[in-house]
A and B are shown apart, each in its own frame.
Chain A
Amino acid sequence: MQTTATIASAQASSNVVVSAASDTGMVRSVNEDSYLAAGPIFLVADGMGGHNAGDQASQAVRATFGAAFPADEPATTAGVLAAIKSSNVAVRAISGDDSVGRSISGTTLAGVALVTSGESGLLHWMAFNIGDSRIYSWDGRSLVQLSVDHSAVQELVEAGVITDEEAQLHPDRNVITRAIGASEHVDADVWLLPALRRQAFLMCSDGLTKELGDEQIARILAEHPDDPEGPSLAEVLVEAALAAGGRDNVTVVVVESITTGLEIDADNDETIERVPHGIFEDTRPRS
């Protein structure tokens, strides 16, 4: 499924092409993932928790965000932060008061939103992440992981205890350290990136990244033909993850935007040194 939308602010306007796909996978019986792919919000949520509460949790996040923003208008940073907070309240309402440990229902959240910041109404992409779903940015050549997983293995990697490769096989690789619904206060990592002329983001649940490496994902993105009739990018990626094992629910949202009306000239965007110093200060060799 591929949709297009136009999101306009006072000065600039973004044409957004988005594709999204989700699959239960080859092993699990319930798909606990949800996604939202309607301008200005694009997100995936990977639910967890016993008693089928995981799918309710991710759906609650989808519903909260879906209701919070009018379609095809830029959101605001404050609005997105408020939606994250109310998602947390909604998910906490699902698990009972006596729930502890694995019976707590919770969900990850990884997404991007087109937002305006400040009175000037400047257009930005706001990325937000809680848990181990991921946000990548794609510039047509290289795939860069923007988000940092909130997981036990990520902490071990950062501490230098294990390597990235060992993390893939570590017994704790499914333990996450932050989630929507896990505690009273929810603390998202946030990025604000100036809208550029062309940008693309990939949001996915861990079902994709546990089956496919970053290089494989990048290759699929690079080789995908621009054919509106054929399978969408998200569908191709989900299929590839299923072919590689599909041990978990797989959900992918791909957002490609072309923004016009920006004052930023991306081709000539280096800061110029004001004073060419060094001419008078160099100590000359005595010779």
Chain B
Amino acid sequence: MLTYTPAAAGSQLAVVSGARALLVRMGDDAATTAALWKAVSTGESIQAVVEVLASGGLFSTPPFALFQATAGTPGGGFDVTCIVRGDIPLELTTVSGSDSIDASGVSTWVERTVPAVVAFRAGVPEASGALTIVGAAAWASSVAWTASDSDTAAAPAAVAAAPVSTPVVSTPAAPPVAPPAAPPVVSPPPVAAPPVAPAVVAPPIAEPEPQQTTQIAEHTIAAQTVTSSAIDDMIAAAAEPESPSGGYDSLFEETMMRSIEDAAVRPPSDDEHAEAVPAAAPEAESSGDHDGMTVMSGDIAKLRASRKNRKAAAAAHDDSDAPVAYTLSLSTGGVESLDDLALVGRSPSVSKVSGGQVPKLIAIPGDQDISRNHVQFAVEGGTVVVTDLHSRNGTTITLPGKPPQLLRQGESTSVLVDTVVDLGGGVTITVGHA
């Protein structure tokens, strides 16, 4: 269940739909509000919301706190993804304690996935009366959420049919008009968009989240914050002087998302061992010594499975973002399609890849200027990323209308369609649309 405390117009906007909530510090801007409402309510990936927020570039991105409950965590609570920028405080209550996310010292934003969350609050409530909210955009000083059965899984679909045409409460001051007499007006969302009516309802009395404050614990959450190196990368990317807002912005946007996610979702390897070893021990004791039987630890399997599921869910998001197909035209003749990963070289090989993504191998035999594994093409978030694979002679890339640029060994860069990649020895590869 979501609640909010109202605030004056033009201060802080809450955009809420299903199990997803956004609190952003911004002025009265109908176009942005409409775009945010669309991104929050239509059940697109949570990253789509960030894209709207950051559409004006990194430095004009307002402080925000974005929250989404995804799937139930076994043992209670929900897996939630939080993205926080600036000094909007975000507090979480999990099954075993409480936690907060503070992004005030971070120049981009912090993304975390936290399991077993039962409640959260973003912002500082100014008024005392918290009002229940189902799906709306409204001026608010804080937004809070407590887990309930109705939140199961991906709730955003529940409000997906709400009007795109901005149910904004743009009039000044506090509580949006709630039907005085009626008990909660939760109109079944009609498929055709109704003209008005944000589904904002006032409950008789809303408790200001008691369990949030009573729980005091020093629980450490498994997920990591963004590593400082990832942040450095993003700052470096943002400082790139010659990125015009149109052409490169979306490229750089996508890359940013990926590096945050990588840093935030991947559990540290120490944890892996920590979970594997104790879980394995009891099985092994019962299996006795020297019987030569191969046994499986069910506990490990379950842990791994749940992690896989989460990764698979994340991958599904990526897929929906990247419908673009690319091709690689070889100067030696032939056109290869580029689906997600391709490896080019004189005699390319792949060593121990996991996760079902096996790169396509493209061989350019004969020319010993070219290394066995020379260059890699990857489609990441809809963009082609070229990575030199520590080739002996390097890789030169020429973006359309730009001077050629040498990729140092191991360096990678995102490129546009019609970019020419020179492997040396007169062999070039041109990136094209399928």
Contact = CB atoms under 8 A, between A and B. Distances in A.
A96 to B, nearest CB: 14
Interface stretch (A13-21, A180-188, A212-220): A180-188
Interface string B404-419: 0000000000000000
B161 interface: no
B87 interface: no
B349 A191 contact: yes
B293 A104 contact: no
A251 B369 CA distance: 44
Q: Is the interface of A mostly helix, strand, loop or mixed?
A: loop
Given A194-B349, A248-B292, A117 B361 contact: yes
Given A189-B352, A264-B365, A271-B393, A210 B292 contact: yes
B294 A248 contact: yes
Interface residues of A, number: 63
Interface in A207-247: 207, 210, 247
B334 A120 contact: yes
A272 B370 CA distance: 8
B293 A48 contact: yes
Interface stretch (A36-44, A66-74, A170-178): A170-178
Given A187-B308, A194-B347, A175 B273 contact: no
Contacts, number: 187
B336 A174 contact: no
A124 interface: yes
Interface in A128-178: 131-132, 148, 152, 155-156, 159, 161, 171-172, 174-178
Interface residues of B, number: 62
Interface in A24-64: 25, 27-28, 46, 48-49
A206 B360 contact: no
Contacts of B305: 182-185
A140 B296 CA distance: 35
A190 B357 CA distance: 9
A122 interface: yes
A24 B283 CA distance: 24
Contact of A271 (B276, B360, B371): B371
B368 A272 contact: yes
Contact of B358 (A119, A185, A192): A192
B43 interface: no
Interface of B: 272-273, 276-277, 280-281, 283-285, 287, 289-298, 300-302, 304-305, 308-309, 312, 334-337, 342, 346-356, 358-363, 365-366, 368-372, 391-393, 424-425
Given A124-B361, A161-B277, A175-B280, 15 more contacts: A101-B296, A118-B336, A120-B363, A152-B276, A152-B284, A156-B273, A171-B285, A174-B284, A174-B287, A174-B293, A174-B294, A179-B301, A185-B308, A189-B354, A194-B361
7 contacts: A104-B296, A174-B292, A177-B280, A179-B296, A185-B309, A194-B361, A247-B292
